[in-house]
Amino acid sequence: MPSLSGGPEVRQCLLLLLPFLAAWEAGSGQLHYSIPEEAKHGTFVGRIAQDLGLELAELVPRLFRVASKDRGDLLEVNLQNGILFVNSRIDREALCGQSAECSIHLEVIVDRPLQVFHVEVEVRDINDNPPLFPMTEKTIQFHESRLLDSRFPLEGASDADIGVNALLTYKLSPSEFFFLDVQTSDDLSQSLFLVLEKSLDREENAEVKLLLAATDGGKPELTGTVQILIKVLDVNDNEPTFSQSVYKVQLLENTANGTLVIKLNASDADEGSNSEIVYSLSSDVSSTTRTKFQINSTSGEIRTKGELDYEERTSYDIHIIASDKGSPSMSGHCKISVKLVDINDNTPEISITSLSLPVQENAPLGAVIALISVSDRDSGINGQVTCSLSPHLPFKLVSTFKNYYSLVLDSALDRETTADYKVVVTARDGSSPALRATASISVEVADVNDNAPVFAQPEYTVFVKENNPPGAHIFTVSAVDADAQENALVSYSLVERRVGERLVSSYVSVHAESGKVFALQPLDHEELELLQFQVSARDAGVPALGSNVTLQVFVLDENDNTPVLLPHGAVGVGGSVSELVPRSVGSGHVVTKVRAVDADSGYNAWLSYELQPTVGMRSLFRVGLYTGEISTTRVLDEVDAPRQRLLVLVKDHGEPALTATATVLVSLVENSQAPKTSSRALVDAAGQEASLVTVNVYLIIAICAVSSLLVLTLLLYTALRCSTTPTSGACAPGKPMLVCSSAAGSWSYSQQRRQRVCSGEGPPKTDLMAFSPSLSQGPESSEERQPPLEAEHLGKT
């Protein structure tokens, strides 16, 4: 055990060098305080709140708390005044043993914002332990034949204190036969020897009593004593001797049980039984040492017999006695100093304290997620621990103090990409090969509203037949939000705007939850061919995010309008038309032309004309199927009735077809009865007929030009549509097609029609109509088969 030899000047210098003043300093991210051990409950340590720069009023709101690993509740903080005080008895020897440094490490944590401070409280040693000898009485046998200056080793006292409080000085009671010799080695350990100063004579002094006192260097000094009884023996006058008084041995801490430590070989100058040596452990050897080592009494071999652990104890002193078999027996002594060498047999230990879980995905960089501390019971490089994280994670470790780390956010989080992370912390010591330990922490990412609802496409095209029932479901919009929980709850609403003189909400409505679009009233193709509006989708986050989608609703025509006759010529009673025809006209003479229009479009507006047959007689007239022109079928005879009543049926091509009837009264007159202006009328009729032919030629040229432009447009349109990703469903943009057919021919009605888009904004949109009639040749002339484009043109006139 450590002791102090020398004069009072040396001890005074050592006392001046030891730090006894309580002080704190901020450095390396920590505060330092110093208190003596055995301080009473409530002893002031330091104004920790003031020293950390914290206001007293914010200690409770910011959840000021102190944590100490494996230190219990030795220290506490008064949240009213911010003072750190002693809460329970602190025994330095129980806390740190004989370690030169003894500190209590505290972690001070406050929230809003999160801050972590490290406080180190040094526990100073006081002289509260007196020196203790292994026993209070010790008996030593000395032969009377022992030579002067013979030495007998003594076990020194031990002091549980440290520093100057453990520096011991020894004093032997006055004796004419013995004096005390204290030897100090390089490592400041002391060896005590009782030295014979005057020859012993058993006949004069069979026993010598001595008192050995050990005094430490504390203030006040504490003393321990041992009574030494020296028994003087006779006869055998040579004791066994060792080659050296102290043997030094180094052993690895993982040395196997039964390993040879050292083999002693003492010698005795006597002969016979007086030179036979028996080895044994000294009675001063502690019970702990006896459980670790054993000695062969004959061979002097010392072997291990228990597990050696450097972390439990770093060295052992084994006192050996070599006794001969003389009568009385004589003995020699030596000490075996066993130093254990540390090996890397302890894996690092990891402790994780989670502070901020789950982590908001918009958490700032550098936000502290958890506190991590590591430790290793080994020493030197074997106890130096480094920490690392599993790669490719948005976190990093920041060292806050020795073996203390903070897990902080290193890059931005996105819950929609990764909702949680498994962070693996690996601790490695500095040995080779290194031992490692791992610990994992699951970091969940909390959602924030950073994603707006998204529609599958920016625009939808919907086709709805006119005359739909009120409240009819015409389409369903759907938007997806990548967020979670309430941030992903999508509601739909109509973006209000005006369509002409009315609001779009008077036409349609949108169900807030399902996204279903309903027509509030019957739609009329003749009034509104295209209704364009926007639907908004918004989530339930705070603040809410949204996006819009455009719906183009095409109102498809139905055959709900009958043909309407246009007034022409002399209109008689009941809406009939009267015409005068000379009997001299030839076959094919155009008498008049029936004109009609239909408010519908396409096939529904394509009109055909039929002459109702007269019962029992062959009609003198015929009507152009698509022109409505009434002309003679032959030369008129005298026998023909002077008054002819013609019924012309005007019919569209809708399903079912709608009709109208025109009555034409034709009067056959002689040439002499013709009006004076008849010649002029004939000339005008001829001019009109020539003009009509000219118009037909121009009309054919126009149709050819429009058809060519149409074909080119359709080719370009088809190429553009084919280059985009196809969209399934009847409402995909650019895909819907209504194919119509009849006995007169067939054509396709695409969404491209020439009309004004009723969206209240933007330029008119173009939509084309193309008809490809496939008509069989009939008895009528080719001039009568007017193309549907003309029919539509006439219907819209």
pLDDT at 72: 64
Identify whether the C-beta of residue 234 lies closer than 8 Å to the C-beta of residue 224: no
204 pLDDT band (50/70/90 cuts)? confident
Range with lowest mean pLDDT among 409-418, 446-455, 560-569: 560-569
Write down the pTM of the prediction.
0.50
**Residue that wins the pLDDT comparison between 670 and 698:** 670
| Tens-place pLDDT, residues 734-773 | 333 333 333 333 333 333 333 333 343 443 333 333 333 3
707 Cβ contact list (under 8 Å, min separation 6)? 770
Residue 278 has pLDDT above 90, yes or no: yes
Write the burial class of residue 711 (CB in 10 Å: 0-12 exposed, 13-18 middle, 19+ buried). Answer: exposed
In this structure, the number of other CB atoms found within 10 A of the CB of residue 737 comes to 10
What mean pLDDT do residues 574-599 have? 86
Query: What distance in Å separates the CA atoms of residue 191 and residue 151, rounded to the nearest whole number?
Result: 11
575 pLDDT band (50/70/90 cuts)? low
Residue 795 has pLDDT above 80, yes or no: no
Give whole-number Cα distances, 700 to 9, 453, 692, 696, 768, in Å: 134, 53, 12, 6, 18
pLDDT at 354: 75
Nearest CA to 124 among 220, 216, 23?
23
pLDDT at 791: 36
* SS3 state at 602: helix
| Tens-place pLDDT, residues 487-525 | 999 999 999 999 888 899 999 999 999 999 999 999 989
Write the burial class of residue 243 (CB in 10 Å: 0-12 exposed, 13-18 middle, 19+ buried). Answer: exposed
pLDDT at 564: 92
Residue 394 has pLDDT above 90, yes or no: yes
Average pLDDT, the chain: 80
Nearest CA to 229 among 138, 350, 154, 322?
138
In this structure, the number of other CB atoms found within 10 A of the CB of residue 445 comes to 22
pLDDT at 269: 82
In this structure, the number of other CB atoms found within 10 A of the CB of residue 84 comes to 26
| Tens-place pLDDT, residues 696-723 | 567 678 788 888 888 888 888 788 777 6
Query: What distance in Å separates the CA atoms of residue 668 and residue 682, rounded to the nearest whole number?
Result: 15
Query: What distance in Å separates the CA atoms of residue 479 and residue 460, rounded to the nearest whole number?
Result: 13
Residue type, position 620, single letter: L
Give whole-number Cα distances, 204 to 210, 328, 542, 649, in Å: 17, 18, 106, 169
pLDDT at 234: 64
**Residue that wins the pLDDT comparison between 794 and 224:** 224
DSSP-assigned states of every residue in 450-511: ----EESSSEEEEEEESSPPTTEEEEE--EE-SS-GGGG-EEEEEE--EETTEEGGGTEEE-
275 Cβ contact list (under 8 Å, min separation 6)? 238, 268, 269, 324
**Highest-scoring range by mean pLDDT, 212-221, 332-341, 750-759, 775-784:** 332-341
Structure-derived torsion over alpha carbons of residues 678, 679, 684, 690, reported in degrees to the nearest 10? 120
- CA terminus-to-terminus distance, the chain: 125
**Residue that wins the pLDDT comparison between 248 and 694:** 248
Range with lowest mean pLDDT among 211-215, 232-236, 331-335, 459-463: 232-236
Beta bridge partners of 375: 349
In this structure, the number of other CB atoms found within 10 A of the CB of residue 305 comes to 13
pLDDT at 458: 92
**Residue that wins the pLDDT comparison between 482 and 100:** 482
**Residue that wins the pLDDT comparison between 226 and 328:** 226
Phi-psi region of 314 (alpha: psi -120 to 50; beta: other; left: phi over 0): alpha
Query: What distance in Å separates the CA atoms of residue 486 and residue 508, rounded to the nearest whole number?
Result: 28
| Tens-place pLDDT, residues 87-139 | 888 888 878 877 778 888 888 888 888 888 888 888 888 888 898 888 889 89
**Residue that wins the pLDDT comparison between 176 and 24:** 176
Residue 188 has pLDDT above 80, yes or no: no
Nearest CA to 31 among 132, 124, 80, 103?
103
Residue type, position 168, single letter: L
Tokens 């015929």 belong to residue = 622
**Residue that wins the pLDDT comparison between 387 and 354:** 387
pLDDT at 570: 52
Query: According to DSSP H, which parts of 204-271 are helical?
Result: none
Range with lowest mean pLDDT among 235-244, 514-523, 647-656, 785-794: 785-794
Query: What distance in Å separates the CA atoms of residue 397 and residue 225, rounded to the nearest whole number?
Result: 56
pLDDT at 513: 93
pLDDT at 380: 87
**Residue that wins the pLDDT comparison between 311 and 548:** 548
